Structure 1
Amino acid sequence: MSERTATIASRVGLHARPAAIFAEAAGDLGLEVTIARLGEPAEDALDASSMLSIMGLGAEHGEVVVLRAEGPGADDALETLVRILETDHDA
């Protein structure tokens, strides 16, 4: 299983717009990707392709999250998702 951390860059956190961008990208990957706050157990991670789950996570600006995926291309897929989270979509 591949794992990456990302720091939320959007100034207002993972609200509707950045959550939608991230969830759509995660859903397009063809892999099961999960997201959780840093320090939370892996079994509590949420479906990264669900906008409602992403918004329910309540991740704020500067908070660190953990992304996990398994399968062919997981490392590259997670790098793509990290770049999305580490971009300020409120700028």
Structure 2
Amino acid sequence: MPPTSRTVRIGSAHGLHARPAKMFAQAAKDAGIPVTVSKGSGAPVNAASILGVIALGVEQGDYVTLTADGDGAEDTLDTLAELLTTDHDAE
């Protein structure tokens, strides 16, 4: 089965800075399957790497593409997409 991809728009007012990036990377790691995230035409990075995620320089309103490969890829992408579209800076 080919990898599953989904493009989502970033909801956090300050983009994927330390706290939302950490939450996202931890959720990707906990998924137990390979997940990558990319911005625009840039190279995909390991979504479980907080440094890789922060290095993408993602701002509010940017679109990123998530790709997961393995059993549960759809559910994993649903969970990660929800994290990315939520404004964690509004709390």
**Length-normalised TM-score, structure 1:** 0.94
Name the amino acid aligned to 1:65.
V
What corresponds to 2:87 in structure 1?
88
Unaligned stretches of 5+ residues in structure 2? none
Matches within 5 A, 1:28-47: 28-38=30-40, 40=41, 44-47=43-46
What corresponds to 2:15 in structure 1?
13
Instruction: Indicate the SS of the match to 1:9.
Output: coil
What corresponds to 1:76 in structure 2?
75
Tell me which stretches of 4 or more aligned residues in structure 1 moved more than 3 Å. Answer: none
Q: CA deviation at 1:68?
A: 0.2
**Length-normalised TM-score, structure 2:** 0.94
Cα distance in structure 1, aligned partners of 2:34 and 2:17: 22
Unaligned stretches of 5+ residues in structure 1? none
Aligned residues: 88
Q: CA deviation at 1:17?
A: 0.4
Q: CA deviation at 1:36?
A: 0.2
Instruction: Indicate the SS of the match to 1:71.
Output: coil
Q: CA deviation at 1:72?
A: 0.6
